[in-house]
């Protein structure tokens, strides 16, 4: 077809130019063979018959889970009369990645994409009583449900959906006692996967929540963002990952979530966050709640338009080099001990809550306000100009260094009350350690995150 198009374009150009080669072009066009079919009728690869979509031009082959995709023999390919293929029976193909097949018939050709996949059996979604959604880890083969503390878990109906063709045992809708962990077995041809299903009773809000990331998937996030996202998806009820790209495209609506968590790296600035600024601002002014930690705190400026003065924290540093901590690292809550964000967190005699222990590796990324600097000069001036309330100061007590702040709801648009925003800029609130050092204060990081999420869901 490309050859035909080229000749027709050339002929058209010559005619428009006033040049005629009637007999020559008639002869060339009459020689073209355009009536041959290039469809694949059947194909067998590695002993397994393919599913052929002649409209989408795809050839899909499902293979056993232990099959080597890098060396598959083409057993048979059946074509229409007169057609030929650039692969032939007996050819050994590396199908670990999609493989191109070109079918030619006369002067017509078609390219197909050959895709070989191992048999797959996975849970794609699950819920209890059609009410409590699951946190599914298809790598660890675990399914976890979070339910209120007063929920009866001795007789709950398990519902789930699976990949195409798969079946599950027990069947969807089965009422099960979840006092102890149960097993869900999912099967499809040669694939059999066993999931450990557990139910956790806790006081986390059941409201819908999202972790916002600057990547198409959790796996593609930076190590710091991924560590935080992995924790949230595994431990926070009714939470899901949402990419900024899906927000920008309109595939996901921020308004579907009671709160969102933006835990971003300094390299993300400003990029797609600028392109999505109006969507985030609309979410906020119509009641959406935001936990903005690490470099998420930068966007309270003229991007999201949350701070009254539309300025980011005026003292930002670190984030590029990981160093070993010589001392414990945390923040001070003197004067704010009763705030819900700090419930259940141990406070030492100096008013400090530790988040990272000595010996841990930390990038030192800090986003804080120095309220005694220009253009604030004092705490009262900072509060007036930003509209924020200081909740915590730096590692050592300095009331002028604000590392955790809260922006309370207010009316911005007539008829709407904005959401609540909490910013956490202390370097201790870091989830990734490149050396995987055991952090004696890891539970404090998790509790602070839980408290913040619950507080924003009220």
Tell me which residues of the chain have a pLDDT lower than 70: 1-31
pTM of the model: 0.79
Helix (H) or strand (E) run with residue 8 in it: helix 2-16
Q: Under DSSP, is residue 230 helix (H, G, I), strand (E, B) or coil?
A: helix
Burial of 226 (0-12, 13-18, 19+ CB in 10 A): buried
Per-residue confidence (pLDDT) for residue 39, from 0 to 100: 96
Give the pLDDT confidence of 23-63 residue by residue, as tens digits.
Answer: 445 555 556 777 899 999 999 999 999 999 999 999 999 99
Per-residue confidence (pLDDT) for residue 30, from 0 to 100: 57
Nearest to 195 by CA among 224, 154, 166: 166
The tokens describing 218, both together, are 């959790």
Per-residue confidence (pLDDT) for residue 29, from 0 to 100: 52
CA angle 431–437–439, rounded 5-degree value? 65
């Amino acid at each position: 077809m490309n050859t035909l198009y080229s000749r027709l374009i050339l002929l058209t150009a010559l005619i428009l130019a006033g040049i005629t080669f009637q007999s020559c072009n008639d002869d060339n066009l009459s020689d073209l063979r355009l009536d041959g079919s290039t469809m694949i009728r059947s194909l067998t690869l590695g002993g397994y018959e393919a599913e052929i979509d002649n409209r989408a031009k795809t050839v899909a082959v499902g293979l056993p889970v232990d099959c080597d995709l890098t060396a598959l023999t083409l057993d048979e390919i059946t074509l229409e009369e007169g057609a030929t293929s650039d692969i032939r029976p007996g050819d050994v193909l590396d199908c670990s990645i999609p493989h191109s097949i070109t079918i030619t018939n006369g002067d017509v050709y078609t390219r197909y994409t050959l895709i070989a996949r191992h048999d797959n059996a996975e849970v794609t979604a699950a819920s209890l009583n059609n009410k409590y959604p699951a946190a599914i880890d298809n790598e660890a083969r675990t399914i976890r449900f979070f339910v209120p503390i007063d929920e009866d878990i001795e007789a709950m109906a398990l519902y789930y959906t699976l990949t195409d063709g798969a079946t599950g045992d027990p069947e969807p809708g089965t009422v099960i006692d979840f006092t102890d962990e149960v097993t869900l077995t999912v099967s499809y041809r040669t694939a059999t996967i066993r999931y450990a299903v557990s139910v956790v009773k806790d006081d986390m809000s059941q409201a819908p929540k999202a972790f916002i990331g600057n990547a198409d998937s959790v796996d593609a996030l930076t190590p710091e963002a991924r560590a935080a996202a992995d924790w949230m998806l595994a431990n926070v009820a009714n939470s899901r990952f949402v990419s900024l790209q899906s927000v920008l495209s309109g595939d996901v609506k921020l308004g579907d979530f009671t709160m969102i968590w933006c835990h971003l790296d300094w390299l993300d600035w400003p990029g797609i966050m600028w392109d999505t600024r109006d969507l985030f601002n609309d979410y906020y002014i119509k009641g959406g709640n935001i936990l903005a930690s690490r470099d998420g705190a930068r966007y309270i400026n003229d991007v999201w338009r949350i701070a009254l003065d539309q300025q980011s924290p005026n003292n930002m540093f670190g984030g590029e080099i990981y160093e070993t901590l010589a001392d414990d690292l945390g923040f001070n809550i003197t004067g704010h001990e009763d705030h819900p964000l700090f419930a259940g967190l141990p406070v030492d005699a100096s008013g400090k809550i530790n988040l990272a222990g000595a010996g841990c590796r930390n990038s030192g990324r800090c986003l804080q306000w120095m309220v005694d600097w220009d253009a604030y000069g004092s705490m009262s001036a900072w509060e007036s100009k930003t509209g924020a309330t200081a909740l915590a100061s730096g590692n050592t007590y300095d009331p002028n260094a604000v590392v955790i702040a809260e922006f309370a709801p207010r009316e911005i648009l007539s008829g709407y009350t904005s959401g609540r925003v909490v910013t956490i800029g202390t370097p201790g609130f870091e989830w990734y350690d490149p050396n995987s050092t055991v952090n004696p204060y890891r539970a404090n990081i998790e509790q602070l995150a839980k408290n913040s999420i619950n507080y924003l869901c009220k």
